[in-house]
Amino acid sequence: MERPSRPVSSHSAYRQAGVDVDAQERALARVRELAAKTVTPGVLAGIGGFGGLFRPDLEDVDDPVLVASADGVGTKLAVARMAGDFSSVGRDLVNHCVDDVLVQGARPLFFLDYVGAGTLEPARVVELVGGVADGCRENGCALLGGETAEMPGFYRPGDYELVGFVVGLVDRRALLGPERVGPGDVLVGLPSSGLHTNGYSLARRVLFDRLGLAPDAPAPWAEGRRTVAQELLAVHRSYLAPLAALLRHPGLHALAHVTGGGLTDNLPRALPGGTRAVVRTGVWEVPAIFRFLQEHGEVSDEEMRRVFNLGIGMVAVVAADAVGEVLASLRASGERAVVLGGVEAGGSGVDYRAGGG
């Protein structure tokens, strides 16, 4: 996608209509520098063309499959606006998209972003895209291009929209998914770093509207001196690093990225028909932020499980005889993985059972 590169007169009719292309160009000059730092060997052309060019390395891939995903960060952007800090939401965006293609066994190749605003502030655009570039570097993918749109009258002053698009690659024989899952498989949970990018409409209603907390107030549920904004803006994790070594392991059958819908709606997406997930609710400690939101928002267990990740951001569906190897690999990478339950024949959805037995 093209980002404009030709400035117009500051006295133009377009600027009088609310669009300052000169300001855009000042921001985009810095954006091009940020994108250049994410270049990988497959990139054939930098930002500025009508389309990005990428040549994937297929040397070790017999039957290449491209996996694509698009997403946003939702109303987490509202928290960033309230806190005056947009520096981390770009990383949220990249990590979320990378996790979405990771569940099918794909590694990310390149990323595209979209930034929309009523009035583009160059420093803010650089802050947003800087976070995207950071996320791309951390995940080993290139920021190949994007779009920056200034639309006065459509977005409110101070509001920004941030959307991302990722393309990954996997060998067809290494695709993960429900087709490989069966009764007896084991569910292994990987911890989240907080809310990630889901449930913010409810969290904002509880914390800001009902309790009247300020973004810079100490977070009542957190130890130390962390503020409400710091807790809410904790970066959505990428699970690529801890799972990379397992993507071709025959015992790893599927992955479920726990986003909107929580475990209740996302785990079934990794299961074949005629099976259900059994989750033992006592085997991991739900982080304090979720317990606080539930208590002060008067939210039922059922709704909490469908709105929030409750401390589990990714679930691996693993063959029973491979659980030991998978856990050893994850823990060697520093991952605090935990066995959540298993897959059983019959029924559908998620069956929550109390206790760790």
- Give residue limits of the domains in the chain: 13-174, 178-353
In this structure, how many other beta carbons lie within 10 angstroms of the beta carbon of residue 303? 15
Cα dihedral 113/84/73/228 (nearest 10): 150
CATH top class, domain 13-174? alpha beta
Q: What is the DSSP string of 52-96?
A: -EE----TT-SSEEEEEEEEE-TTHHHHHHHHT--TTHHHHHHHH
Sheet bearing 107-117, strands edge to edge: 64-72, 160-171, 107-117, 142-150
In this structure, how many other beta carbons lie within 10 angstroms of the beta carbon of residue 322? 19
Four-way CATH pick for 178-353: 3.30.420.40, 3.90.650.10, 3.30.465.10, 3.40.640.10:
3.90.650.10
What sign does the CA torsion over 47, 235, 167, 63 have? positive
Question: pLDDT tens per residue, the chain (357 residues)?
Answer: 455 444 444 456 656 555 566 667 777 788 889 999 999 999 998 777 889 999 999 999 999 999 999 999 999 999 999 999 999 999 999 999 999 999 999 999 999 999 999 888 889 999 999 999 999 999 999 999 999 888 988 988 888 999 999 999 999 999 999 999 999 999 999 999 999 999 999 999 999 999 999 999 999 999 888 999 999 999 999 999 999 999 999 999 999 999 999 999 999 999 999 999 999 999 999 999 999 999 999 999 999 999 999 999 999 999 999 999 999 999 999 999 999 999 999 999 999 998 754
